[in-house]
Each structure stands twice: as structure tokens, then as C-alpha cells.
Amino acid sequence: MSEDCIFCQIVAGDIPSRTVYEDDTVLAFLDANPLSPGHTLVIPKTHHERLNDTPADVAGEVLSTLHELVPAVEAAVDAPASTVAFNNGEEAGQEVPHVHGHIIPRFEDDGGRPIHALVTDSPDLSDGELDAIEADIAAGLE
């Protein structure tokens, strides 16, 4: 727990939330500043700032909960689709430094954009650059 983390304060019960799911590892609640009706956050109860910092078993529980909640959230607000995403680090737009997955119900003509619209200046990478990145990622997993 981090005393200055708003999500840790929610887990501790110091700040109320509209909880939609809870178990020993994960808490899911409606976003206080929703981007659409039903916007839900799924967090580990233990404090981890980024996915990179989260133990694999805890990350797996968060993803499993997201998988279970997506159809329930969509059905609750009659949404035909949803965007499921993590902002992983401040430069990616993470505003609360506690891992959290978003379930954002999507509707026709909601003004939302696809994930590929997040970046307006996409890099033009050569085959050689792509090959080097591929090799570096694979090497990082060894």
C-alpha cells in the first residue's frame, strides 16, 4: 500500500467507490471521471506503479478479471463494443501511478477513436530497424 495513492486509499476503504467486483487480489470499480457510461477500472489491490512492476500472477489475475468483466460491463450499458487499455507510465498518459486497466464501453458515433489514432506522428521504420527491434525484444525475454 502507498499512503499517497488514491487507488490504495480506495482499496483500504478510505475513499468510497462504486465497486463492481472484488476478490483477494483484484478490485474493479466505476471510474469517477468516466469517458462513457460504465467506464470501469480494474486494479490489483497491491500497489504496483506499472505493469512492468507487477508480479506475473497478479497481472494474470487482473487480465482474467478484465476478461470476465468486459461482457458484463458492455451488457450493463447496452454497448456494442469496448476499448480495453492500460496506460503504462506517465509518458503514456498514466495519471494515477497504480496499475489499472480501463474498460471503456463504446457506442456508434461516440467521438472516440481507435488506438492507432493515439499517435499522430508514426515512425517510418525500415526493415532493418524492425528486424533489430524484433531481435532486441526477443533477447530481452531470454
Residue 107 Rama label (left phi>0; alpha psi -120 to 50; beta): beta
Measure the CA–CA gap between 122 and 48, rounded to whole angstroms.
30
Active site residue 102: no
Active-site residue (options: 39, 100, 102, 116): 100
Q: Are 27 and 21 in contact (CB under 8 A)?
A: yes
Measure the CA–CA gap between 25 and 47, rounded to whole angstroms.
11
The set of catalytic residues is 100
